Amino acid sequence: MEVHPTAIVEKGAELAEGVSIGPFCVIGEHVKIGRNTKLLSHVAIEGHTTIGQDNTIRPFANLGGPPQAPYNGEPTELVIGDRNTIREHVTMHVATGGGDGVTIVGSDCLFMATAHVAHDCVVRDHVVLAQSATLGGHVVIDEYVILGGLAAVHQNSRVGKHAFVGGLAAVTKDVIPYGSVWGNHAHLEGLNLVGLKRRGFSREVIAELRSAYRLLFAEEGTFQERIDDTAESFAQSAPVMEIIDFIRADASRPLCLPEREV
């Protein structure tokens, strides 16, 4: 374990073997940092924050600060997984007292400079938040999602797995798994075909997803009828059923929809 002499590590902080704390970092008393995690310099970690192994945190990141929402100092948490890269000026906040009490960030994620994860968010594994991408409170970002630079996701929104959110997009509605959205306000432009190909999805699976997408967002019938028809027609396709399950999981949430006929 290496702690630079200009760093401040408060009594009670727990640093595992191999942790490196660089110049002018400040580590609060309720912070736990896992093995081989590196704080390069000028990093502030406060609150009840737990960070896993093999993370790299670059200068002026602030993790575990109080939420920018009603908060009375409850001992809520920020929990970060393993092997994340957290770039300059990234901010992540502990949860408010009114939710589950924890903001969760997964593993193998990249948070580019000035990205923000608000209170009570859940960010799963292999997520990328590009420069200045911002999450409002209680947002759920599923695995392998990419948010482009300056994109913003409204509070309580969900973004499904393998989805892509274009730069500058303002996401005020839920984004289906495998979807691709952009615009202000964001709308569906199709499937995230580039991401699917890069991650090794077969031609057969991609073809199933494209067929299901056309059926789901056709103009005939009601949306509920199209959901049911798609579920029946593609019941054996796990990726398609992930989209159906995502939609059915919270019928009260609006969805990003296509602006034109598919």
Q: Which residues are catalytic?
A: 119-120, 137
Q: How far is CA 189 from CA 59, 164, 193, 199, in A?
A: 36, 10, 11, 20
Pairing of strands 48-51, 77-80: parallel
Strand 158-159 and strand 179-182: pairing?
A: unpaired
Q: Please state, in angstroms and rounded to a whole number, the distance separating the CA atoms of residues 153 and 157.
A: 7
DSSP designation for 174: B
Residue 13: CB atoms within 10 Å: 17
Task: Give the DSSP H or E segment for 126.
Answer: none
1, amino acid identity? M
- Amino acid making up residue 87: R
